[in-house]
Amino acid sequence: MDPGQPSFRLIRTNKGGEKMLEGGYVYLMHRRVGEMTHWQCEQRGECKARVYTKGMEIVKRTNEHLHAPDVQATACCEIKAGIKRKARDTQDSSHQIIGESMLTASEGTAAKLPKLDSLKRTIQRQRASVLSAPVQPTALAEFLIFGTQRNLGMLQQSKIWLADGTFKTAPPLFAQVYVVHGLRGGDDPMKTGHLLPSLFVLLPNKTEDTYRRMWEQIRILCPLAQPEQMLLDFEKGAINSFEHVWPNTVVKCCFFHLTQNIWRHVQSVGLQSDYTHDEELAMRIRKIPALAFARPADVPDLFEQVSMDLPLTSEIGELVDYFERTYIGRTLATGHHVAATFPIGLWNYHFGMPFGLPRTTNAVEAWHRSFNATVGCHHPTIWKFLLALKREQGLVEVRQTNYLAGKPPTKRRRSQQSEQALRTLVGEYYSPNRTKMEFLQGVAHHFGLGAD
């Protein structure tokens, strides 16, 4: 043992007290007097051995032990203490915790340990004591925002924001976990930007009024924030409320969600099988979301051309009608124009492509999947959610440090190649060597419906 290291170890008992392990013997804490701690042998009924410590140093011993030391028993105590600690501090499975803890156990030590089922129950009890300590709330009227001063500072300096919600990890009484991210770094955000989760919000519902009050509170928390672009899902309440609070910010909606919405409608009208087995039809349908990369002023006319190029079936008619009323808008026979639910400006990315502006919240959704794994279940208690959030904040701070240190973010090679191809196509949009329908077909090669 190193000269500077203590000759004993301290572990916690089930009742919150302390045990001392030293030389194959187990001692229970008897009392503290000033800086001195008095320890007595665990077999105190028959053994009168005592040890006195000051800090992490043994300063006195009295009486000899009446029994031989049991190194295996003290090793068992250490292993069980380690299992309890891992149960409290990690989300590892019971099998993983027990397996890792047994790696250094001798055969004799393993034989003295409780049965596997008993160790699993120990892990469950430890986690229950941590995760369900206070009483679960039964009523809620407001939303809760979590973050740190550093998170707020990072968000305020971000010119591009992204936000999205998930219901899976929302505790009871809350409708969703809504997370606001800032994109920092470089002149080409799609290639060099660091996505930094900054604010975590528990919302009781998804009404426009609740979103508005949330954005107003975030504006108070971030008085210096001047985001130039916000990327959101196709949710009117979130869009309208954000535009109300930040009227000068350009709001865009996620391209992946656009393709996802179209794919759901393909399924709902009964075109899924035709799309899957008819490659030519699939390409023609994908030209519809490819309109997101055309010049906005050209979109209505190009939509008409794409529609005329599709087969004249009732299912195709329903799909075209859905896209027109939801994303294009239409002019009635009376001459009255009916605006789209989501106007072209919300989902068109033509002018942002040269600047590498993000067009999907896929990275945000990837964060949600990772956080779901950290939580470990759907709709956890509020206390388990907060524990997972504290752990996640540690990872957030690693991301922040990587950004400040100039480390490049990890990007998928396939995504980078597709991104460069799309930029090339948009850059050649006005070229006389390619028709606009050929342009849409070129774009449609680089995505699937409902897939990034």
With a CB cutoff of 8 Å and minimum separation 6, the contacts of 93 are none
Range of weakest confidence among 3-7, 170-174, 436-440, 447-451: 3-7
CA angle 211, 213, 218 (to 5 degrees): 95
HSE-CB of 218 using CA atoms within 13 angstroms = 32
CA dihedral (273, 276, 281, 282) positive or negative: positive
CB atoms within 10 A of CB 264: 13
pLDDT, residue 435, reads 94
HSE-CB of 341 using CA atoms within 13 angstroms = 12
Q: Write down all domains in the chain, each with its CATH number in brackets.
A: 9-131 (2.20.25.240), 151-254+361-404 (3.30.420.10), 256-357+413-444 (no CATH)
Given a cut of 50, whether residue 126 has pLDDT beyond it is yes
Q: How is residue 276 written in tokens?
A: 């899957």
pLDDT higher for 132 or 321?
321
Of the pLDDT bands very low, low, confident and very high (cuts 50, 70, 90), residue 179 is very high
Q: Are 373 and 316 in contact (CB under 8 A)?
A: no
Given a cut of 70, whether residue 131 has pLDDT beyond it is no
pLDDT, residue 258, reads 94
Given a cut of 70, whether residue 105 has pLDDT beyond it is yes
Amino acid letter, 166: T
Q: How is residue 142 written in tokens?
A: 């407001």
Pairing of the two strands 50-54 and 57-62: antiparallel
Of the pLDDT bands very low, low, confident and very high (cuts 50, 70, 90), residue 99 is confident
Q: Are 76 and 110 in contact (CB under 8 A)?
A: no
pLDDT, residue 106, reads 84
Given a cut of 90, whether residue 138 has pLDDT beyond it is no
HSE-CB of 158 using CA atoms within 13 angstroms = 30
Task: Report the greatest alpha carbon distance in the chain.
Answer: 105
Mean pLDDT, residues 332-353 taken together: 88
pLDDT digits (tens, 9 = 90+) for 38-73: 999 988 778 989 999 988 889 999 999 988 888 888
With a CB cutoff of 8 Å and minimum separation 6, the contacts of 253 are 231, 232, 233, 234, 239, 342, 346, 347
pLDDT, residue 403, reads 85
pLDDT, residue 412, reads 62
Given a cut of 50, whether residue 2 has pLDDT beyond it is no
